[in-house]
Amino acid sequence: MRALVIDDSRAMRRIVTGILTGFGYEVRDAEHGRAALDVLDEGWLPDLATIDWNMPVMDGLQFVSAVRANPAWRSMTMMMVTSESEHTQIVRALAAGAHEYVIKPFTADAIRDKLALLGLLPQEVSL
C-alpha cells in the first residue's frame, strides 16, 4: 500500500513516515498541500494521505477540498493528523471530506488503530 505524508514539519514527516513504513507502506511526503497535489498530478495515487492542518502555501483543509473536487482521486483515504483539536475543527475537516482525524500528539498505536478501522492496515500487522 502507498501513503502520502503531508506536513510542513520535516520532523513530523519523518516520524509519520517511520510509523507507516513499519506497517509496510511505501511512503512519499510533501511539505504542504500544493506539493501534495503535484504528487497526485504525477499519477502517484496513494491509498492513504495523512494531512497536517496548518501549513504554508496550501493548508490541509484546502488540500482535502481540492482532492474531493477531483473524481479521479476519490479512492484515496484522507486522515487529518494535526494539533487542531477543537471539536469545531474536527467537524469542519470531516465535512470537507476527510475520513479520519488524529490529534497530535499521537502514538504509533493510535495510528495503527485508525488504520485498522479504515481497513488500511496490512494483514501481517497485528493489532
Partner 1 sequence: MTTTDTGARRRSGDVRPVITDLIDAATVEAIAAEAWVALVGEDEVLVPLPGELPVDIVSSWVDVVGPWTGSVVLTTARSTAEELSRALLRDTAPAVLDDEDVADAFGEIANVVGGNVKAALPGPSALSLPQVGNAPLVRNPADVCRLDLLWRGEPVAISVQGALPPLPGTTPTRKNEVS
- Where on the chain is the footprint of partner 1 (CB under 8 A)? 8-12, 14-15, 17-18, 54-56, 82-86, 88, 103-107
C-alpha cell at 108: 504509533
**56 versus 122: smaller Cβ distance to partner 1:** 56
C-alpha cell at 17: 513516515
C-alpha cell at 126: 497485528
**76 versus 81: smaller Cβ distance to partner 1:** 81
Q: Is the peptide bond before 71 cis (omega within 30 degrees of 0)?
A: no
**36 versus 40: smaller Cβ distance to partner 1:** 36
**84 versus 100: smaller Cβ distance to partner 1:** 84
Those residues with Cβ within 8 angstroms of residue 121's Cβ, 6 or more apart along the chain or in another chain? 23, 112, 115, 127
CB of 44 to partner 1, least distance (A): 22
5: nearest Cα among 43, 31, 23: 31
CB of 47 to partner 1, least distance (A): 22
CB of 50 to partner 1, least distance (A): 14
